[in-house]
Amino acid sequence: MKKLLFGLMITTLAVAGLAGCGEDSSDSWSASGISSEEEMTTEGEEITTERTEESETQDEMTEDEITQENYEKSIYVDYGDTIRVSYQQMIKGATNQDWTDMGETSFEVAYDTFEFQQCDYELSPAELDENVGKAMYKTVGDEFVLEFEGGDGTYSYKYTILEIIKRIYPSGIEASSYLTDDYGTYSADNMIDGDYSTAWADGVSGTGVGETITIHFSEKKLINCIDIVNGYTKDWETYYKNGKVSSVKVDFGNDRVFDYDMSYIDEGDDVSESGDIEEKCLCKITCNEPISTDQITITITGAVAGTKYDDTCISEISVY
């Protein structure tokens, strides 16, 4: 009899202990449904309410706002990005050793950018790599300093990053036509190969007005601007011989269509100022506000013939 009572006591204590464990962990278990029916109903309603409120908040945000939020969280300088900066200059050895404000400028973080090699001598690959590296992986508000030896001392430039415009690489590009002749094929891929000595040329008779170029992205991207190197910039002779774009219509989808004029250089214009041919022929299309899209279609609405050929050419397109 004593053994039976003792066994009943042990069983009772064990059940009580299990019940106690269940009460202590009711919060963590309730989401899995291990609770009383009343607790399940109450907590289930709370969870549903919270999720509904989150969904409503998400629905209230526009697609552009969501993309902008993600875009801003991931900003840091990478190779090929364009940065807008304020900058100061100081010349060591000069009477005034203070930093002199020089205003604002924008440039691409790349080895061939003037700002990373502005000196009287050619930098070694290691020196150039070091200069470009000083801007890499910085974020808005960060500073970096570049120094160069000149004829009258050491020039120091201090840059403060104000904005980072990300280079966006397309998943593909196509054109409504392209030229093939005895010299080669001038396909749409030439506009995204990073080579300014190649170009796309239209494959129709006349100047190519009405031809389209479509840029595809693997997912929706936030577009701030489009850089177009207008004409065939292999060299000045080739540039003048071939046609250039004078105006375009840019369609970002969802009835977001805009017209832009494109600048170009006529033969006889002064091109003696410093800068490579691709820099002088660069046309920048800037959006008034960032636009979210996975496709951009550019339609040529105006073009001028070259001195020898009607073919309209574009050497490079970059999206930011």
Tell me, what CATH number does 89's domain have? 3.10.50
Residue after which a domain boundary falls, among 99, 134, 165: 165
* 48/156 Cα distance (integer angstroms): 60
- Answer whether 0.75 is exceeded by the pTM: no
Query: CA 145 to CA 130: how far, in whole Å?
Result: 11
- 232 shares its domain with 283: yes
pLDDT at position 53 is 45
- Between the alpha carbon of residue 160 and those of residues 82, 83, 87, 143, 145, the distances in Å are 13, 10, 6, 4, 9
CA distance 94 to 81: 34
Among 165, 185, 203, which residue terminates a domain? 165
Task: Say yes or no: 310 and 203 in one domain.
Answer: yes
In this structure, the answer to whether residues 43 and 139 fall within a common structural domain is: no
Residue at 51 is within a domain: yes
Last residue of a domain, one of 165, 182, 216: 165
Query: Is 86 a member of any domain?
Result: yes
User: Same domain for 136 and 219?
Assistant: no
Q: What is the DSSP letter of 191?
A: G
What is the chain's pLDDT, residue by residue, as a tens digit (320 residues)? 433 333 434 344 333 343 333 333 333 323 333 333 444 344 444 434 443 444 444 444 455 554 554 444 458 999 988 899 999 998 776 666 688 999 999 899 999 898 998 876 788 999 999 999 999 999 999 999 999 887 667 889 999 999 998 889 999 999 999 999 998 999 999 999 999 999 999 999 999 999 999 999 999 999 989 999 999 999 999 999 999 999 999 999 999 999 999 999 998 888 877 678 998 999 999 999 989 999 999 999 999 999 999 999 999 999 99
The pLDDT value given to residue 27: 36
* DSSP SS3 for 133: helix
- Same domain membership, residue 219 and residue 98: no
Q: Which residues contact 131 (CB under 8 A, 6 or more apart)?
A: 116, 117, 123, 146
Amino acid identity, residue 283? C
Q: What is the pLDDT of residues 252-288, one digit of tens each?
A: 999 999 999 999 999 888 887 767 899 899 999 999 9
Q: Which string of DSSP letters, residue by residue, matches 245-257? A: EEEEEEE-STT-E
CATH number at residue 182: 2.60.120.260
**Residues 178 and 231 reside in one and the same domain:** yes
Question: Is there a domain that residue 226 lies in?
Answer: yes
Based on the domain organization, do 282 and 262 belong to the same domain?
A: yes
Is residue 155 a part of any domain in this protein? yes
Residue 156 is assigned to a structural domain of this protein: yes
**Nearest alpha carbon to residue 29 among 17, 15, 40:** 40
Q: Do the domain assignments include residue 98?
A: yes
196 and 315 share one domain:
yes
Same domain, 253 and 271: yes
pLDDT at 96 (0 to 100): 60
Would you state the pLDDT for residue 258?
96
Domain count, the chain: 3
Q: Is residue 14 part of a domain?
A: no
* 248, 260 contact by CB (below 8 A): yes
Q: What is the pLDDT of residue 5?
A: 36
Same domain, 185 and 304: yes
Query: Does residue 9 form part of some domain?
Result: no
Q: Are 291 and 237 within one domain? A: yes
The sign of the torsion formed by the CA atoms of 229, 208, 263, 84 equals negative
Instruction: State which residues form the domain around 40.
Output: 22-60
Largest CA-CA distance found in the chain, in angstroms, rounded: 119
Structure confidence at residue 22 (pLDDT): 38
Do 270 and 292 share a domain, yes or no? Answer: yes
Rg over alpha carbons for the chain, rounded to the nearest Å, is 31
